[in-house]
Amino acid sequence: MPDQTTEQQGLQDQIAQQMKDFVAENPDIGEAMAVMNMTMPDYYLAMESIRGDRVISASVYVPVQIHKSS
């Protein structure tokens, strides 16, 4: 039975390979990500923000007002 460290390394290797495959299949996106110094999680967050409903930004220094839409 493989130990946890080996399993984690295998998972990391698999994710790294999937990221390389994504960039190889989408060179324009890969180039844009490199220019903007984006990681895959950054890319997914940006895409979710575009596709998602509303994006709300907040600061710990400013009260946030939440309005319910009717």
Higher-pLDDT residue of 9, 57: 9
Residue type present at position 34: A
- pLDDT per position as a tens digit, 16-66: 898 889 889 999 988 888 888 888 888 888 888 787 766 566 677 877 666
CA-based angle 58:35:59, to the nearest 5?
10
Torsion, Cα of 29, 35, 39, 45 (10° steps): -70
* DSSP, res 62: S
Domain containing residue 57: 1-70
d(CA 26, CA 19): 10
Report the SS3 class of residue 51. Answer: helix
pLDDT of residue 24: 93
The total domain count for the chain is 1
